[in-house]
Amino acid sequence: MTSAERDYKRSEAKKLFVLGLSIINISELISVGEKTLRNWRELDKWDEEKEINNIRPSEIKKMILQYVLDVKNGETPRYKADDLAKVSAAWDRLDDNRKRAVNAMESFDDFSGDMMLLAGQANGKKRESILELLKAIRPYLDKYITKLLAEND
């Protein structure tokens, strides 16, 4: 495997892990050993990336509602009000097109993740056809997001 191929597989493996696939499934999909994948996971801090990438606007809302519920019940809030205010304000400052882009990215990532899970559960030609379909669709999804983001500039 060339250096470029290794880097590509490493990048793809990380994306698949962040989407929720197991090391075993990733190993089967991209033909890289589990030991190598675990090493990359540790070196590149995939678990942290997975946690960060799984924060959604709906989770921000849930955190705020949890804060209100904690205060209402006389409990110590799990989150600091100042931190929640900053996160909420950052979201509110985004204009509508940028919010649309974030929501679209979220939806496309969910769709891609579901497709990858289907591929991970499938075998042979079925797996290959799902992966080929995703490879064909993904550039158009990315192009749409780029268009939405460009409308803001």
What is the span of the domain harbouring residue 133? Answer: 96-152
* Integer Cα distance of 94 and 53 in angstroms: 18
pLDDT digits (tens, 9 = 90+) for 36-59: 999 999 999 998 877 766 666 777
| pLDDT for position 36 | 96
**Judgement on whether residues 133 and 145 belong to the same structural domain of the protein:** yes
User: The tokens 């649309």 sit on which residue?
Assistant: 100
Amino acid at 148: L
**Judgement on whether residues 103 and 141 belong to the same structural domain of the protein:** yes
* Integer Cα distance of 6 and 39 in angstroms: 13
pLDDT digits (tens, 9 = 90+) for 64-89: 888 889 999 999 988 888 888 877 77
| pLDDT for position 10 | 92
| pLDDT for position 145 | 76
Structural domains of the chain, count: 3
Pairs from 118-124 (Cβ < 8 Å, separation ≥ 24): 119/29, 120/21, 120/22, 120/25, 120/28, 120/29
Count of other CB atoms within 10 angstroms of residue 29:
18
User: What one-character-per-residue DSSP string does 53-89 give?
Assistant: HT--HHHHHHHHHHHHHHHHTTPPPSS-HHHHHHHHH
**Judgement on whether residues 85 and 46 belong to the same structural domain of the protein:** no
Is residue 32's pLDDT more than 90?
yes
**Judgement on whether residues 82 and 34 belong to the same structural domain of the protein:** no
Question: What does the block give as tokens for 12?
Answer: 């793809």
Is residue 149's pLDDT more than 80?
no
**Judgement on whether residues 39 and 64 belong to the same structural domain of the protein:** no
Asked whether the beta carbons of 21 and 116 are under 8 A apart, the reply is: yes
Average pLDDT, the chain: 83
What distance lies between CA 87 and its chain's CA centroid? Answer: 19
pTM for the full predicted model: 0.45
pLDDT digits (tens, 9 = 90+) for 98-116: 667 777 877 888 888 888 8
**Judgement on whether residues 50 and 68 belong to the same structural domain of the protein:** no
